[in-house]
A and B are shown apart, each in its own frame.
Chain A
Amino acid sequence: MLAYAVRRIAGVVPTLLILLTLAFVLIRSAPGGPFDAEKQLPPQIEANLQAKYHLDEPLYQQYARYVWDVLHFDFGPSFQYKDLTVTQLITDAFPVSLKLGAASLLFALLFGVPLGVLAALRQNSATDYGLMTLAMVGISIPNFVLAPLLILLLAVYNDWLPAGGLGGPSHFVIPVLALGTAMMAYVARLTRGSMIEVLRSDFIRTARAKGLTARRVLFVHALPAGLTPVVSFMGPATAGIITGSVVIETIFGIPGLGRFIVQGATNRDYTLVLGVVLFYGMLIILFNLLVDLVYAWLDPRVSY
């Protein structure tokens, strides 16, 4: 397994380089530039700005310079946030996205898995149908609808929670609900489906035949096997959720990473977009690797 992990990590570098190159080509081929505005810059000032950010050099040279800087962990200055570097922006925003994302994940798992198991154990009962209908509703309501509804209900009509911004734990409740609900519903459905299959399989029958308690059969034998699809879903989902949600961040005014990629792209903030894309890419690769390793641990049939 160690050899496998090493091999996978070695594959990261070329993957990231391809990602970086693609992102670089795409953002640079978009029309317009970072200093375009309704009010045009005097030529000398524009030339100075271009020179300051090396935009006056040939593209291949800019690319080489960027890759070189990235290899030294320097993501460059932001064009849009002139007082800050991309590294500063990411280090400030990532912990916020991480907190929000981790809380939403926890919420999704803490409620999604037990609800899925419950539905599987009572398959085709009223509880099962009720839960799965709710889950379907949860998946179908987009978070940009759910979030304003929750704000109206919990912050505007009542005075229970803040409507936005960042502060104490109470500021996280509505965003976590808005971000985690669909995921919780999805996890519940996944868990149910796979648990139904697992509960019917031979090794569970054997476990029951050995006279193990229902609790032991469920938690020790069935659940680990039943969670494999959830785990493979969680890999990319985790990377996605902790790098921030543009929609949720915009609605709640949360200073996370998600907004930077969208704003960076619309403002042609080349360095910011590339920095965030690269960071995001690294996370996705990391989580996919983790997922594969967790597989081996959960499912004895899988080995590397």
Chain B
Amino acid sequence: MRVLLKALGVGLLLAGCGQGGSGESDSFPVKIKPEILDDGTGVLRKGNGAEPGTLDPHKAQGVPAANILRDIYEGLISEEPDGTIEPGGAESWEISEDRKTYTFKLREDAVWSNGEPVRAEDYAYGLRRTVDPATGSVYASILAPIENAEAIIAGDKAPDTLGVTAVDEFTLEIRLKAPTPYFLGLLTHSTTYPLYRPAVEEHGDQFTRPGNAVTNGAYLLKEWVVASEIVLEANPDYWDADNVGVGRVEYYPIENTSSELKRYQAGELDWTGSVPIPQLETVRTHIPDQLKTKPSLSNYYYGLNVTREPFQDSPQLRQALSMAIDREVIVEKITRGNEIPAYQWVPPVVSDYQGAKLAYADMPQEQRNARARELYAEAGYGEDNPLTVEIRYNTLEAHKKIASVIASMWQNVLGVDVELVNEEWKVFLQNVSERRVTEVFRAGWVGDYDDPYTFLELLHSDFGINGAGYSNPEYDALLNKASRMPGGEQRQSVLREAEAMLLADHPVIPVFFGTSKTLIKPYVKGYVGNPMSHYYSKDFRIEPADDSPAQ
């Protein structure tokens, strides 16, 4: 018993030391422990956020599932590490004069994991399956540009009327309802991946399980332990197997970001899905080279419910609230991850687009505040008659902090009386979409493809969830016009006009543009980074340096 007591005592003492040690220079150890396989290739161990709900490429939603699907399947189009489009399952393609017919020539050396060649019909089957309402694909509407897709999704036409034809075994034709400049980019989405039909028909919902899954990507699904790990191994029969750098990929679903960071420090992960905000400064101080931040295709904004008081018919008030937010402070003091203060609606990382800006984008904050007070008074509010408003946000520490800072800015600059309302996610979603009780609500959007349209359509009056309730026929008309135009300067200017209209109307207040934050061990080579955070594990290599610094 005495021995035991001593052991206990020592344990507690040690625990005390461990705590006291933080704050010293060696207080942030990060172990450099690459795992190398017998064949010389390495293992890439990635923290992957939430457990994917499904690995059915056509039903999947969310980043974690997309990361894994990108490794085990291959679509017509693939991407280079910087996000540029490159041939994937299609070797080459031709686009017709009117830019409405795409003809893909498939590579003939691509095979399914059971040895069968990947045929044009497999791609056609995949596309039809996605738009078939019976499948229940959450992302089906992303295929709306394809001929008849919308009617099929609505249940008005049969799935086989989709504008997709397997011309011969290795030629696929896709017809669009209108020229869609971002169409090739859409083809990187998992809803367009081919599927091996016999496997789907044989196993039903469980065709995604290891052992059942028939895939065509650079990796094979070896193991899937729900909420624990998903293990992939390089596919020896992949057409480009010689250039696959990582031999095994392990995805760990870790939602708790501080747990993820500790496992990264302990040498159990080579890559984290994110970095906890409170630790961002520590990470930046101790391991700046391992922290990768990239502007992402996303915005963070405050929506104003324009279908009810106090924001209905009060553009001055909406603008006053927007002007009174000091976006620089939020980015520098709260989010601290190189986010970009937002004076536009469409993130600046969107390619080939120069967006419109808020009229006061270049004004100093003092001047904005002064103008905000004028507008506030014009809207009929003042010291004796202050605005009382609710900010609604879903449960997350970061949302709460941002909401309290914005509340105090409105309070200080305008004297607004703000109440913060925290809601659980599903309750929040329901309230936002019903628009009955919401006044101000926090929101964010991650683009589905690299085009301004994916952000602008959010406020189209026909769009599914339009929490702000913005409904402007002129705005809708501009978007409808743009969606019938081929790419180029003309379309850009129509979209810019729409964005300017949206910004001037202030149904939404852009706050900042997000960044992706990833920690990557120095021996993981090949990281370039791209705005969509689309990474293909095959593009990376594990190269332990002989002189790797012991951290």
Bits for B118-135, please: 1 = Cβ < 8 Å to A, else 0: 000000000000000111
Which of the residues A48, A114, A152 comes within 8 Å of B134, measured between beta carbons?
A48
B259–A30 touching, CB < 8 Å: no
Q: How far is the CB of A147 from chain B (nearest CB, A)?
A: 9
Which of the residues B14, B59, B226, B430 comes within 8 Å of A32, measured between beta carbons?
B430
* Interface residues in A164-178 (C-beta closer than 8 Å to B): 164-166
Q: Note all chain A residues with C-beta closer than 8 A to B226.
A: 81, 84, 89, 92-93, 255
Q: Note all chain A residues with C-beta closer than 8 A to B363.
A: none
Q: Is A42 an interface residue (CB 8 A)?
A: yes
* Interface residues in A27-66 (C-beta closer than 8 Å to B): 30-33, 35-45, 47-49, 52
**Chain A residue total in the interface (Cβ 8 A):** 64
Q: How far is the CB of B215 from chain A (nearest CB, A)?
A: 14
Q: How far is the CA of A165 from the CA of B429 in the complex (A)?
A: 32
Q: Note all chain B residues with C-beta closer than 8 A to A15.
A: none
Q: Note all chain B residues with C-beta closer than 8 A to A49.
A: 136
Q: Which residue of A lies closest to B28 (CB)?
A: A156
Q: Note all chain A residues with C-beta closer than 8 A to B225.
A: 92, 166, 255
Which of the residues B14, B141, B209, B430 comes within 8 Å of A36, measured between beta carbons?
B430
A159–B31 touching, CB < 8 Å: yes
Q: Note all chain B residues with C-beta closer than 8 A to A266.
A: 424-426
Q: Note all chain A residues with C-beta closer than 8 A to B268.
A: 162-165
Q: Quick check: which of A190-198, A211-219, A245-253, A294-302 contacts chain B, the rest being far away? A: A245-253
Q: How far is the CA of A40 from the CA of B141 in the complex (A)?
A: 10
Q: Note all chain A residues with C-beta closer than 8 A to B205.
A: 77, 82-83
**Chain B residue total in the interface (Cβ 8 A):** 65
A45–B136 touching, CB < 8 Å: yes
B208–A83 touching, CB < 8 Å: yes
Q: How far is the CB of A271 from chain B (nearest CB, A)?
A: 14
Q: How far is the CA of A162 from the CA of B259 in the complex (A)?
A: 12
B153–A44 touching, CB < 8 Å: yes
Q: Note all chain A residues with C-beta closer than 8 A to B263.
A: 163-165, 253
Q: Note all chain B residues with C-beta closer than 8 A to A142.
A: none
Q: Is B18 an interface residue (CB 8 A)?
A: yes
Q: Is B266 an interface residue (CB 8 A)?
A: yes
B53–A81 touching, CB < 8 Å: yes
B141–A32 touching, CB < 8 Å: no
B259–A252 touching, CB < 8 Å: yes
Q: Which residue of B lies closest to A50 (CB)?
A: B136
Q: Note all chain B residues with C-beta closer than 8 A to A131.
A: 5
Q: How far is the CA of A255 from the CA of B224 in the complex (A)?
A: 11
Q: How far is the CB of B186 from chain A (nearest CB, A)?
A: 15
Q: Is A70 an interface residue (CB 8 A)?
A: no
Q: How far is the CB of B261 from chain A (nearest CB, A)?
A: 9
Contacts A48-B134, A81-B54; A156 near B59 (Cβ below 8 A): no
Closest 3 CB pairs of A and B: A32-B426, A40-B464, A255-B227
CB<8 Å pairs between A and B, sample of 28: A30-B426, A32-B425, A32-B430, A36-B429, A36-B433, A37-B61, A38-B429, A39-B138, A39-B464, A39-B465, A44-B133, A45-B136, A45-B137, A47-B133, A93-B226, A93-B227, A149-B15, A152-B18, A156-B262, A156-B266, A159-B31, A159-B267, A163-B262, A164-B262, A164-B268, A166-B228, A255-B226, A266-B424
Interface residues of B (CB under 8 A from A): 1, 4-5, 8, 12, 14-15, 18-19, 21, 29, 31, 51, 53-56, 59, 61, 133-141, 153-155, 205-206, 208-209, 225-229, 252-256, 258-259, 262-263, 265-268, 424-427, 429-431, 433, 443, 445, 464-465
